[in-house]
Structure 1
């Protein structure tokens, strides 16, 4: 019999608004700005201020916001997406801090060059904002396009990273 995982959440204050972090026993499963597009209903999960994964994620994000960290070590679980989404989310993790790439480049990198729009949909549904850096994806001409947390936050995150 498969054991059910316990899912817990905590709140985090960022320079750009309130965020919610969600984890199960051994990995982070959601990080997002409150009210962002495609957010799950996190209210059903228990609040925890002591969960080790949530504490690690909160500490690392605060270091990132302070300009003291550009890479994350907290374990993440991207297994709730489709196989296609998981390939896109894995590709996002390869974008270096301070760099950007295009949706087309990601579709090429995952071996599906005609899936640019589908890549955009998967990027928009990234369950672990900032840590899985979907904000580093821009339009083919470098234009700031789409971000589930809002374009002002995307621009702010990229500006922060340009200073790291």
Structure 2
């Protein structure tokens, strides 16, 4: 097991990773924020699905998923159709315009990564993929918040009052 100092350095690197995420966000079209891009990506990867499944994959509340879906539907990138098994539920799927946008986003992202990681070897990129995949899987089953033990109470130097 790694030492505490290594975990602390890892935490600093996670914080610095925000710069990478911000740069990836800057290549998105102005009308397609990162949450919307995540929805498009999941629909492209997994195909049509219920809002509840999408919400689960995004690890967000249904209301957040609903706002993303409304945003994407307004732009014609997804369709929301009634679920034949349960008319109260909606099935989301990409439209041809959504598929085209997803392809454009994929191209932009691949180009940015190629530019920034151009001096990395193929083996280094493959190693990063393996390690990031493993890191993600280590957190997949940990969606419930971790409860830390309460801090130990400091010993008191006062004497209790006698009543």
Structure 2 length-normalised TM: 0.28
Instruction: Indicate the structure with greater helix content.
Output: 2
Task: Indicate the structure with greater strand content.
Answer: 1
Higher relative contact order (CA 8 A, sep 6+): 1
- Normalising by the residue count of structure 1, what TM-score does the alignment of the two structures yield? 0.28
Mark the structure with the bigger radius of gyration: 2
